[in-house]
């Protein structure tokens, strides 16, 4: 009878899979056992196996599963057989679950979990990602998924495919390809070759290492490399059981009707993608957390809770972040001078479904009735967007939640395009990158518009939503303490108040100056990819990527944004080559501009817009093709007169436009060794011809270039000794890549480009970049490769990011320090303030940026205190 039952199973398995066009596995176990306790294989010509200590079989919603305690060598071991030799192609798959991810700092044998192991040479392991290693003859074929592709408390399907005929190996998680390679990694970098393996199959442990503490269900081995469609089709029974189980568990939690409806709807589909599972598990966990919060006495039955946070702190908040206790029911406090932008922030977590939530700022009032309109405070939401690796990151500050539709269940995102005929949503999280020709990356094809003011949004229970406030002060604001509130409303009903206090300081901030010489400008720059069209034709398309020309409106919006973020000298990168400068250098820099007049016209218009936007344009920093095109190929004998001619022509052009000839030309980007030395001659001649040179380099090269360039833009942690070396040789020193531009966190940019540079006596900052996105896809596309940018584009302007706000805050820190230095100097002649001025001076000289205790916010607070001491006495 038992034989008949086994035969039935085999036939059923074969029949079902064949019918679906799926290869039949040569091994599959659902952990059935025979009378003697041997584990059974469901396939024809079955092998048998056994459990090792620390492993047990238990029933679950998806049938029998292997439950593992996390003991060394725990698992299930199956004998090998000729059918499992499979040298040329195979797929190993199965389901895994664990409550907690392995601790990377724990004992070495327990830092990783094993799903599959075979001999010493084949393994599939998990931590916060999935990694595989298949090896033979000293060659390693390894794959690793991005982090967070596997989560605790969620059944996850893994599939590894190895194919000699295709010359590839792949790793799928929940039916989605997460890693792929075509060559080995250590020695010869050769494509997959046959790896015959006759070792037993082991699940749950790598011998005496990496035991899984969790469960494994229905592992399979196929004699083919599966396609994703086949992988998904072959697991439909399991995914349906899992979804049904999720529905059953959700039913016990109030408020999950919508979730259950979604589950039921998904289950009606003919083919259910496996990658819906993580989202549903995350949703269930969210509801479970909300249920716990509701039971917590501290919430008092409120529909939401809030916490005030510092937007410039190192912590980043995600959908599932807990609200910090320190800011619960707190007061927002902002202190700002009369010409700056100052941020603040709070988090909200709804405890039930809330529709049309809108924080509303009330009028700010001083005790004597003087008021500031609520419009002085702009509120945006910190939107979690889907980024590379299909994870969420709080990368953008927007007014309209509907600009980006994010489905956290499917990890998909679509971008709203507001066309004349109506709104449609464009998928920016396709399975593969949507590569577009440059000419298609226009604002006309991608009309992305954010609202001008915060729009109401729906909040789901248990999801943390961060709001970002920006106070914009103006010189006409009267100093003093203003009180107000932020009303958190839903559908017009006030749910909650957040107290708000704003101190308008009795002074304005100057432009930033250096610490070592308060009369010297502290240059605030950033790499600006400024592809502009002629800009005056209102009908011309703008761009959604820098590779196409910005429209005039877009260009002006960029300039306004740059200026509002404290930039005074953006590095002009695109299209600024004066016509004809590079025509001689083929093939090294084959940029030829046939239409010189058009180039001149565009540059004139660009300069006019920069002037109109309030940029001083003195000096002018141009990214001019590496030593005006001569790069490292300059030959004095041959090229000196050419150089003189180019510079004279260009300088005359700019002198006419700007009234001066202080033009800085870019050297070779990050040149080293011989390439760097080869530039010395052209630099010498350029400077002798009254042109100026700036270039990027490593710290170690500062002694080489000191005295040879006017500005070195160095990538390293700022050191006073380097600044002194440049100054002693008549040059200046800026910094970049400390860190490179990024979006989600403000703190490192505030510190790295504010006091971190200022107190090291540096002369400026010029980080990479404002808007250099990968040109192959639109910047909003999840697959957009380039990571080093601060801003996101729209059809009519720019969307800010927390990182960009941090850059501004750093510049403002320098402005505050500059203000204090100025007041100290001013106080020198006033005997009443002498002592305070000395204390303030000592304080500034004693700031140590390289200690772990250094806190830019605390430093600024003390600077404000000193400024008030020195200025209030002037009344």
Cα of first residue to Cα of last residue in the chain, in angstroms, is 103
> Phi-psi bin for 164: left (phi > 0), alpha (psi -120 to 50), beta?
alpha
CA distances from 506 to 221, 463, 476, 832 (A): 74, 40, 11, 20
Q: Segment contacting other proteins (CB under 8 A): 464-472, 529-537, 630-638, 849-857? A: 849-857
Q: Segment contacting other proteins (CB under 8 A): 151-159, 203-211, 554-562, 679-687? A: 203-211
Dihedral sign, Cα of residue 221, residue 223, residue 225, residue 226? negative
3-state secondary structure of 414: strand
Nearer to other proteins, 3 or 108 (CB): 108
Query: In this chain, which of 146, 152, 207, 389 binds other proteins, going by CB under 8 A?
Result: 207
Query: In this chain, which of 279, 330, 506, 575 binds other proteins, going by CB under 8 A?
Result: 330
3-state secondary structure of 74: coil
Nearer to other proteins, 348 or 573 (CB): 348
What is the helix (H) or strand (E) element at residue 215, kind and residue range? strand 213-222
Binding mask 719-748 for other proteins (x = CB under 8 A): x--x--------------------------
Instruction: Tell me: does residue 200 bind other proteins (CB under 8 A).
Output: yes
Nearer to other proteins, 324 or 499 (CB): 499
Q: Which of residues 333-392 bind other proteins (CB under 8 A)?
A: 333, 335
Residues contacting other proteins: total by CB under 8 A: 59
- Provide the 10 A C-beta neighbour count for residue 431: 10
Strand partners, 40: 48
Binding mask 829-848 for other proteins (x = CB under 8 A): -------------xx-xx-x
With contact defined as beta carbons under 8 Å apart, do 691 and 647 qualify? yes
Per the listing, tokens 């392991």 go with: 125
Nearer to other proteins, 501 or 563 (CB): 501
Q: Segment contacting other proteins (CB under 8 A): 202-210, 281-289, 433-441, 750-758? A: 202-210
3-state secondary structure of 535: coil
CB of 327 to other proteins, least distance (A): 10
Dihedral sign, Cα of residue 315, residue 318, residue 323, residue 329? positive
Query: In this chain, which of 3, 59, 99, 108 binds other proteins, going by CB under 8 A?
Result: 108
Separation between Cα atoms, residue 548 and residue 775, nearest integer Å: 9
Instruction: Tell me: does residue 425 bind other proteins (CB under 8 A).
Output: no
With contact defined as beta carbons under 8 Å apart, do 109 and 210 qualify? yes
Nearer to other proteins, 349 or 772 (CB): 349
Query: In this chain, which of 5, 11, 56, 186 binds other proteins, going by CB under 8 A?
Result: 186
Query: In this chain, which of 127, 153, 414, 508 binds other proteins, going by CB under 8 A?
Result: 127
Instruction: Tell me: does residue 306 bind other proteins (CB under 8 A).
Output: yes
Query: In this chain, which of 87, 536, 858, 874 binds other proteins, going by CB under 8 A?
Result: 858
Peptide bond preceding 565: is omega within 30 degrees of 0, i.e. cis? no
Instruction: Tell me: does residue 713 bind other proteins (CB under 8 A).
Output: no
Residues in the chain: 875
Q: Segment contacting other proteins (CB under 8 A): 5-13, 299-307, 573-581, 600-608? A: 299-307
- Provide the 10 A C-beta neighbour count for residue 427: 14
Nearer to other proteins, 499 or 580 (CB): 499
Spell out the residues 6+ positions from residue 118 whose beta carbon is closer than 8 angstroms to its own. Answer: 197, 199, 200, 201, 202
CB of 494 to other proteins, least distance (A): 5
Query: In this chain, which of 9, 85, 267, 302 binds other proteins, going by CB under 8 A?
Result: 302
Q: Segment contacting other proteins (CB under 8 A): 86-94, 298-306, 455-463, 618-626? A: 298-306
Spell out the residues 6+ positions from residue 703 whose beta carbon is closer than 8 angstroms to its own. Answer: 725
Nearer to other proteins, 333 or 834 (CB): 333
Per the listing, tokens 């004992």 go with: 107
Spell out the residues 6+ positions from residue 201 whose beta carbon is closer than 8 angstroms to its own. Answer: 27, 47, 49, 77, 78, 80, 84, 116, 118, 219, 221
Q: Segment contacting other proteins (CB under 8 A): 377-385, 514-522, 712-720, 772-780? A: 712-720
Query: In this chain, which of 6, 16, 60, 109 binds other proteins, going by CB under 8 A?
Result: 109
CB of 321 to other proteins, least distance (A): 17
Separation between Cα atoms, residue 394 and residue 388, nearest integer Å: 13
**CA dihedral in degrees (564, 569, 575, 578; nearest 10)?**
150
With contact defined as beta carbons under 8 Å apart, do 360 and 486 qualify? yes
Query: In this chain, which of 45, 517, 649, 865 binds other proteins, going by CB under 8 A?
Result: 865
CB of 806 to other proteins, least distance (A): 18
Nearer to other proteins, 425 or 858 (CB): 858
CB of 424 to other proteins, least distance (A): 40
CB of 846 to other proteins, least distance (A): 4
Peptide bond preceding 268: is omega within 30 degrees of 0, i.e. cis? no
Nearest to 160 by CA among 120, 119, 109, 220: 220
Nearest to 504 by CA among 533, 535, 476: 476
Binding mask 310-329 for other proteins (x = CB under 8 A): -------------------x
Strand partners, 125: 114, 131
Q: Which of residues 476-535 bind other proteins (CB under 8 A)?
A: 481, 485, 494-499, 501, 503
CB of 832 to other proteins, least distance (A): 19
Spell out the residues 6+ positions from residue 331 whose beta carbon is closer than 8 angstroms to its own. Answer: 308, 498, 499, 500, 501
Nearer to other proteins, 650 or 731 (CB): 731
Summarize as ranges the residues that interact with other proteins (CB under 8 A). Answer: 73, 103-109, 111-112, 120, 127, 142, 186, 199-200, 207-209, 300, 302, 306, 329-331, 333, 335, 481, 485, 494-499, 501, 503, 698-700, 703, 716-717, 719, 722, 842-843, 845-846, 848, 851-853, 858, 861-862, 864-865, 868
């Amino acid at each position: 009878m038992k034989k008949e039952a086994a035969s039935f199973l085999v036939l059923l398995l074969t029949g079902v899979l064949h019918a679906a066009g799926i290869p039949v596995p040569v091994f599959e176990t659902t952990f059935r056992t025979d009378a003697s306790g041997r584990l059974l294989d469901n396939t024809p010509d079955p092998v048998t196996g056994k459990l090792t200590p620390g492993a047990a079989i238990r029933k679950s919603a998806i049938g029998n599963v292997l439950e593992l305690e996390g003991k060394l060598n725990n698992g299930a071991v199956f004998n090998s057989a000729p059918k499992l030799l499979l040298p040329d192609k195979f797929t190993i798959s199965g389901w895994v679950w664990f409550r907690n991810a392995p601790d990377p700092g724990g004992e070495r044998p327990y830092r990783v979990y094993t799903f599959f192991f075979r001999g010493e040479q084949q393994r599939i392991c998990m931590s916060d990602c999935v990694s595989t290693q298949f090896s033979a003859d000293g060659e390693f074929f390894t794959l690793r998924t991005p982090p967070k592709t596997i989560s605790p408390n969620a059944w996850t399907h893994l599939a590894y495919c190895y194919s000699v005929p295709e010359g590839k190996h792949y790793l799928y998680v929940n039916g989605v390809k997460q890693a792929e390679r075509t060559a080995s990694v250590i020695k010869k970098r050769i494509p997959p070759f046959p790896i015959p393996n006759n070792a037993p199959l082991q699940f749950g442990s790598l011998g005496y290492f990496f035991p899984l503490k969790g469960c494994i269900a229905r592992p399979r081995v196929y004699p083919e490399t599966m396609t994703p469609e086949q992988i998904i089709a072959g697991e439909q029974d399991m995914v349906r059981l899992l979804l049904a189980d999720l529905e059953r568990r959700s039913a016990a939690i109030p408020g999950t009707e919508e979730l259950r409806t979604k589950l039921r709807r998904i289950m009606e589909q003919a083919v259910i993608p496996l990658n819906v599972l993580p989202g549903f598990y995350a949703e269930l966990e969210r509801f479970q957390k909300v249920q716990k919060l509701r039971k917590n006495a501290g919430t008092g039955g409120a529909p939401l809770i809030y916490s005030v946070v510092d937007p410039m702190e190192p912590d980043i908040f995600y959908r599932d972040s807990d609200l910090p206790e320190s800011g619960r029911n707190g007061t927002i406090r902002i202190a700002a001078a009369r010409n700056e932008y100052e941020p603040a922030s709070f988090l909200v977590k709804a405890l039930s479904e809330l529709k049309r939530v809108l924080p509303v700022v009330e009028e700010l009032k001083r005790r004597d009735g003087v008021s500031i309109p609520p419009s002085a405070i702009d509120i945006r939401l910190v939107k979690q967007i889907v980024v590379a690796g299909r994870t969420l990151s709080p990368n953008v500050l927007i007014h309209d939640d509907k600009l980006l539709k994010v489905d956290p269940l499917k990890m998909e995102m679509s971008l709203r395009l507001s066309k004349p005929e109506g709104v449609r949503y464009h998928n920016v999280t396709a399975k593969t990158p949507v590569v577009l020709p440059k000419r298609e990356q226009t604002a006309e094809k991608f009309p992305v518009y954010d609202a001008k003011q915060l729009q109401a949004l729906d909040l789901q229970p248990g999801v943390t939503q961060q709001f970002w406030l920006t106070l914009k002060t103006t010189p006409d604001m009267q100093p003093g303490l203003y009180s107000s509130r932020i009303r958190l409303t839903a559908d017009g009903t006030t749910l909650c108040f957040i107290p708000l206090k704003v101190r308008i300081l009795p002074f304005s901030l100057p432009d930033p100056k250096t610490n070592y010489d308060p009369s010297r400008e502290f240059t605030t720059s950033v790499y600006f990819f400024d592809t502009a069209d002629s800009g005056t034709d209102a009908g011309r398309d703008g761009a959604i990527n820098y590779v196409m020309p910005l429209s005039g409106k877009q260009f002006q919006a960029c300039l306004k944004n740059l200026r509002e973020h404290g930039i005074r000298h953006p590095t002009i990168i695109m299209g600024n080559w004066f016509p004809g400068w590079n025509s001689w250098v083929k093939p090294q820099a084959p940029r030829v501009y046939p239409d010189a007049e058009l180039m001149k016209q565009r540059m004139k218009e660009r300069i006019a817009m920069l002037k109109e936007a309030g940029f001083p344009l003195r000096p002018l920093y141009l990214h001019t093709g590496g030593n005006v095109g001569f790069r490292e190929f300059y030959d004095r004998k041959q090229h000196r007169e050419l150089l003189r001619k180019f510079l004279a022509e260009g300088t005359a052009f700019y002198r006419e436009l700007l009234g001066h000839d202080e033009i800085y030309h870019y050297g070779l980007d990050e040149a080293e060794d011989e390439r760097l030395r080869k530039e010395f001659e052209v630099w010498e001649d350029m400077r002798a011809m009254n042109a100026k040179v700036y270039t990027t380099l490593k710290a170690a090269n500062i002694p080489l270039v000191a005295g040879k360039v006017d500005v070195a833009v160095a990538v390293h942690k700022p050191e006073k000794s380097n600044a002194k070396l440049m100054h002693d040789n008549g040059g200046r020193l800026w910094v970049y890549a400390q860190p490179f531009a990024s979006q989600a966190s403000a703190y490192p940019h505030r510190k790295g480009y504010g006091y971190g540079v200022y107190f090291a006596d540096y002369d400026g900052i010029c980080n990479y970049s404002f808007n250099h996105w990968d040109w192959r896809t639109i910047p909003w596309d999840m697959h957009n490769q380039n990571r080093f940018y601060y801003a996101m584009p729209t059809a009519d302007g720019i969307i800010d990011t927390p990182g960009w706000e941090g850059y501004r805050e750093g510049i403002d820190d320098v402005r505050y320090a500059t203000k204090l230095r100025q007041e100290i100097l001013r106080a020198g002649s006033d005997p009443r303030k002498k002592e305070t001025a000395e204390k303030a001076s000592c304080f500034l000289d004693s700031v140590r940026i390289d200690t772990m205790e250094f806190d830019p916010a605390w430093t600024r607070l003390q600077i404000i205190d000193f400024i008030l001491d020195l200025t209030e006495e002037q009344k």
